[in-house]
Structure 1
Amino acid sequence: MERTAVIDHALTEPVDEFITEVTAHVQRLSESLRGVKSEELGNDVTLEAYNLVAAFIDADGRHSDDEVWALLTTFGPKIDTVAKYGTPADVRNAGILAGKRTWLDRPTVLFDILVKSDANARSSGASRVYVDRAMAVAHTVCSLDAYPAEDELRALEHYRSMLYDALPTAKPATATEAHAEKPPEEAPLPPARPLPELMAELDALVGLAEVKAEVKMVTDLIQVQNLRKERGLPVVEGSRHLVFTGNPGTGKTTVARLLAQIYRTLGVVAKGHLVETDRAGLVAGFVGQTALKVSEVFGRALGGFLLVDEAYALARGGDRDFGQEAIDTLVKLVEDHREEIVVVAAGYPDEMAEFIDSNPGLRSRFPKTIAFPDYSNEELLEIFESQCNKASYTCDAAARARTLTFFAAQARDKGFGNGRLARNLFEAAVGRQATRIVAMPNPSNDTLVTLAADDIAPLPAV
């Protein structure tokens, strides 16, 4: 099979620049450390570059041939475990890219070391070099496909914001200055949104009738409790923490984000923001580090909501695993800050029951479970059409019928994609439509905005 060399080698230059320049800074920092070999540092930076590329390839869950060929061409000569795969099909069958997108959720240990070094004036601009070279790699990955997916673009913006937010902004103050200057104040919060506006946004979500009813019931309860407090009447205080159960793509994160704002409007939390995390964000590989990681994430969520996705994974480690330490630390923090935060533990129903049973304190602190059902075929079609409307596309009758047939043919097993499946199908349809009409000499405006039945097809296997 012939390949396009330009695409295959597109990653090589930015990846090599990342490895060369970041390794140079890391080696300078490590000169005072005994027993550290320079080749080992180079290997660590190479692995950092690989994880970055793999994460952006996985951002839209597709792992296209162009993306994977570029990965193999760039890292095959550098990493033995990559070199053993000969084709994109081999990579997809091995599943080595699945789930790598979570690598983009938080800054890495290496980047954090560079940031702290810059803040202490021990090196010159190392973290800035990391950001510049990493963004060059990220942009290159997103450019490999002819039509970057919306998920890739969102991941790119999230990653950029995360890195730039972490960069040191000024030289550190001297000891005298540190005592003389006050710490910078946080930016003022925007006004809390009116409750009717938030409830209208809830009602506008596709499906989720039972979930909406649960949220409205909780909202009503808080309003009544607030009235009783205003009038000096006793209030039966219960735990605010929640368990969300359901397959991926059923709206758990969307509802959690909206509920955080509702709780802020009702005075339950101060800020109403949402911090998302998972096992990787809470569990470390060494004794004593897990409690620190949990405390750091928990601290960022104070005043808002902490959503722990796939929380059951914390309870599934072996004897030498630190997942249980994360659970125990979380329970203690929840108790110590019961008035300052709401924690939402999310995951599959059976696995979440296992998680709740893993610590005696969890069941009493997470007394309420909200179940998120899979969307019906008609609801998935509605989500698909909402994506069309947002992007100024329309579906003709044949396209709607074919879309409905596509959804009806999907296996409704664990891991069914739900809303994500609808969004991915829409993005694939846009790409197929572009391929169909690009050869037309003068397509009309109606042709440019209309998706036809031929544009609707199953997503490529990954």
Structure 2
Amino acid sequence: MSDTLRKPVREFVAGVAPAMAELGSDDPSADVVAEAYEIVSAMVDADGAHSDTELWALIGAFSGLMDTHIHHATPADLRAMGMMAGKRVFVDKPSLMFDTLVAADQSKQTSHAWTYYVHALRLAHHVVALDHVTQHVELQAIERFRRTLLTAISSAGLPRGPRDSGRRSTTNDAPVAQAAAQAEADTDAEVAVELPPARPLEELLAELDELVGLDAVKSEVKLVTNLLQVQKLRAEKGLKVSDSSRHLIFTGNPGTGKTTVARLIAQIYRTLEVVPKGHLVETDRSGLVAGFVGQTAANVVKVFDSARGGVLLIDEAYSLVRGGEKDFGREAIDSIVKLVEDRRDDTVVIMAGYPDEMADLMGSNPGLVSRFPQTIHFPDYTTDELVTIAGLIAEGNEYSFDDGARERLAELLDEVPRDRGFGNGRLARNVFEQAVAIHASRMVELLKRAENPTGSQARGSGAATDDEASEEPSAELLQTLTAEDLPGEITTS
């Protein structure tokens, strides 16, 4: 019998039972113990293996807490009775207890559902941490459970976090800021002299969720995050942790959010103590490769020094193998492979570029494949997603697209070929900036008409209304982009 789960089960009971008592449960502790049993059973059943390690931990956690025969059972007994069979579906639908807590929070302005969420996810991670080898399907089960609970919380209009906690808002300014970050070109990041406190993991995941599109990317990042949490728990318990690489490959066209996601991953890694600082340093071939013998290796070391304790993002990394015989790109690759290994405990590297070219890069050096085992692909945004991004960029700059402008913008975006190099979020920003310029010219013309209405009428400019011809542009006009403010076509060159 193992007591590995005893503490997280009791923490779940201690955290949730007061809420159930407040809601009038006859035996709140017993009710919450039964709920904890369902959560543990669901995670044990996630991979269908029902290992001895998992079942002994379940028996040890609930012996004495539940009035059943479980205290005298063995793993073989539980398997023979099919006690875990089918339990995995628990994570796919909010339980009656969770729905009750959500309803109470709606009516009483409490945070009981969030308390349940925090303790339940922690308990789920503890269960998955039991086996030495963590299965992908187990990490997916944690994420399904997380999504189930958060969807119920959001659907009820409840905050994502405890009420009055002082945490930043993740429902107003963040999407605008993230859309802008997704759309702008990469720039070199500076390493802060004094680091701010590490951000809470849930806050970072909420920011990830707020990014436009990228559903598959978000899923992959969350699976990586779940694995790191499980490995951290195993390390804290003195259990063996598999030696897996933290380095990543990002593939996709420009403007698909690779830099934005890399920044979030850097902060997630810091929060989970994978790296001590969590800053992001961005570079490319020009920052690594020199033109003379002996300088390239020194450049690579210098860049790695600036990223030490954080994450290094190497954009267009495939260009390192594009030179001729006298090119020093391959020297840079050799230096990267060495430093990735030497500094694996305090620096994470992400290499980014087009899919086919990144495959060529991986094949150029045998050491790269083992050190960069995971690839996350960033697909092009859909037209609807690009319209949303453009709208959020506009909102962040105190503009808005009216319905006609959004419809015309979608038409223009549909005409742009989705081929190699498609600009994605950056294209959305460029169109917005063009619209602002055209809009400014239109407003200047309206101002001229307001100052000289007789002259403007004499020139036959019949586009303006009577109000526009006689008054200065209103604040609403100054902030609203219409279909006539959009360019005739979108140029991508």
TM-score by length of 2: 0.56
Question: Which residue in the other structure is 2:381 paired with?
Answer: 375
Q: Equivalent residues in 2 for 1:322-333 (5 A)?
A: 322-333=328-339
Indicate conservation of the 8 Å contact 1:424/1:459, yes or no: no
Which amino acid letter does the alignment assign opposite residue 286 of structure 2?
A
Instruction: Measure, in 2, the Cα distance between the counterparts of 1:461 and 1:373.
Output: 18
Question: Which residue in the other structure is 1:392 paired with?
Answer: 398
- 1:259 aligned onto 2:265: yes
Indicate conservation of the 8 Å contact 2:318/2:358, yes or no: yes
Please report how far the alpha carbon of residue 260 of structure 1 lies from its aligned counterpart in structure 2 after TM superposition. 0.1
Question: Which residue in the other structure is 1:454 paired with?
Answer: 484
Which stretch has the larger CA shift, 451-460 or 225-234? 451-460
Instruction: State which structure, 1 or 2, has the greater radius of gyration over its C-alpha atoms.
Output: 2
Please report how far the alpha carbon of residue 461 of structure 1 lies from its aligned counterpart in structure 2 after TM superposition. 6.7
Question: Which residue in the other structure is 1:130 paired with?
Answer: none
Please report how far the alpha carbon of residue 460 of structure 1 lies from its aligned counterpart in structure 2 after TM superposition. 5.3
- 1:416 aligned onto 2:416: no
- 1:225 aligned onto 2:231: yes
Please report how far the alpha carbon of residue 188 of structure 1 lies from its aligned counterpart in structure 2 after TM superposition. 3.3
Question: Which residue in the other structure is 2:292 paired with?
Answer: 286
Question: Which residue in the other structure is 2:445 paired with?
Answer: 439
- 1:297 aligned onto 2:303: yes
Instruction: Measure, in 2, the Cα distance between the counterparts of 1:342 and 1:209.
Output: 23
> Deviations along 1:211-254, whole A, 9 cap, x unmatched?
00000000000001111111111111201100000000000011
Question: Which residue in the other structure is 1:196 paired with?
Answer: 202
Which amino acid letter does the alignment assign opposite residue 415 of structure 1?
G
Which amino acid letter does the alignment assign opposite residue 452 of structure 1?
T
Question: Which residue in the other structure is 1:317 paired with?
Answer: 323
Question: Which residue in the other structure is 2:256 paired with?
Answer: 250
Which amino acid letter does the alignment assign opposite residue 453 of structure 1?
A
> Deviations along 1:297-355, whole A, 9 cap, x unmatched?
01110100000100001011111111110000110111111111110000000000000
Which amino acid letter does the alignment assign opposite residue 289 of structure 1?
Q
Which amino acid letter does the alignment assign opposite residue 300 of structure 2?
V
Please report how far the alpha carbon of residue 187 of structure 1 lies from its aligned counterpart in structure 2 after TM superposition. 3.8
Indicate conservation of the 8 Å contact 2:247/2:348, yes or no: yes
Taking a change above 3 Å as real, the CA distance of residues 188 and 444 of structure 1, as seen in their structure-2 partners, is: closer
Report the 3-state secondary structure (helix = DSSP H, G, I; strand = E; otherwise coil) of the residue aligned with 1:346.
strand
* Structure 1: runs of 5+ lacking an equivalent: 1-149, 166-185
Report the 3-state secondary structure (helix = DSSP H, G, I; strand = E; otherwise coil) of the residue aligned with 2:331.
helix
Which amino acid letter does the alignment assign opposite residue 209 of structure 2?
D
Report the 3-state secondary structure (helix = DSSP H, G, I; strand = E; otherwise coil) of the residue aligned with 1:210.
helix
Question: Which residue in the other structure is 1:407 paired with?
Answer: 413
Which amino acid letter does the alignment assign opposite residue 454 of structure 1?
E
Output the aligned Cα RMSD.
2.0
Instruction: Measure, in 1, the Cα distance between the counterparts of 2:414 and 2:353.
Output: 24
Report the 3-state secondary structure (helix = DSSP H, G, I; strand = E; otherwise coil) of the residue aligned with 1:439.
helix
List, as ranges, runs of 4+ consecutive aligned residues in structure 1 with deviation greater than 3 Å.
459-462
> Aligned residues, how many?
286
Please report how far the alpha carbon of residue 459 of structure 1 lies from its aligned counterpart in structure 2 after TM superposition. 4.2
Indicate conservation of the 8 Å contact 2:285/2:317, yes or no: yes
> Deviations along 1:238-274, whole A, 9 cap, x unmatched?
0110000000000001100110000000000010001
Instruction: Measure, in 1, the Cα distance between the counterparts of 2:339 and 2:360.
Output: 21
Taking a change above 3 Å as real, the CA distance of residues 245 and 450 of structure 1, as seen in their structure-2 partners, is: same
Indicate conservation of the 8 Å contact 1:283/1:290, yes or no: yes
Instruction: Measure, in 2, the Cα distance between the counterparts of 1:415 and 1:461.
Output: 9
Which amino acid letter does the alignment assign opposite residue 473 of structure 2?
P
Q: Equivalent residues in 2 for 1:168-179 (5 A)?
A: none
> Deviations along 1:407-446, whole A, 9 cap, x unmatched?
1110011000000000110011011111111121211111
Report the 3-state secondary structure (helix = DSSP H, G, I; strand = E; otherwise coil) of the residue aligned with 1:190.
coil
Please report how far the alpha carbon of residue 396 of structure 1 lies from its aligned counterpart in structure 2 after TM superposition. 1.4
Instruction: Measure, in 2, the Cα distance between the counterparts of 1:461 and 1:202.
Output: 28
- 1:275 aligned onto 2:281: yes
Please report how far the alpha carbon of residue 404 of structure 1 lies from its aligned counterpart in structure 2 after TM superposition. 0.5
Indicate conservation of the 8 Å contact 1:428/1:459, yes or no: no
Instruction: Measure, in 1, the Cα distance between the counterparts of 2:491 and 2:420.
Output: 19
Taking a change above 3 Å as real, the CA distance of residues 330 and 390 of structure 1, as seen in their structure-2 partners, is: same
Indicate conservation of the 8 Å contact 2:250/2:351, yes or no: yes
Indicate conservation of the 8 Å contact 1:272/1:305, yes or no: yes
Instruction: Measure, in 1, the Cα distance between the counterparts of 2:362 and 2:257.
Output: 21
Instruction: Measure, in 2, the Cα distance between the counterparts of 1:356 and 1:461.
Output: 30
Q: Equivalent residues in 2 for 1:19-418 (5 A)?
A: 187-418=193-424
Report the 3-state secondary structure (helix = DSSP H, G, I; strand = E; otherwise coil) of the residue aligned with 1:236.
coil
Report the 3-state secondary structure (helix = DSSP H, G, I; strand = E; otherwise coil) of the residue aligned with 1:240.
coil
Instruction: Measure, in 2, the Cα distance between the counterparts of 1:210 and 1:363.
Output: 22
Which stretch has the larger CA shift, 279-288 or 391-400? 391-400
Which amino acid letter does the alignment assign opposite residue 485 of structure 2?
D
Taking a change above 3 Å as real, the CA distance of residues 430 and 335 of structure 1, as seen in their structure-2 partners, is: same
- 1:430 aligned onto 2:408: no
Which amino acid letter does the alignment assign opposite residue 449 of structure 1?
Q
Which amino acid letter does the alignment assign opposite residue 438 of structure 1?
V
Which stretch has the larger CA shift, 322-331 or 389-398? 389-398
Which amino acid letter does the alignment assign opposite residue 362 of structure 1?
L
Instruction: Measure, in 1, the Cα distance between the counterparts of 2:322 and 2:204.
Output: 37
Instruction: Measure, in 2, the Cα distance between the counterparts of 1:405 and 1:240.
Output: 41
Indicate conservation of the 8 Å contact 2:423/2:492, yes or no: no
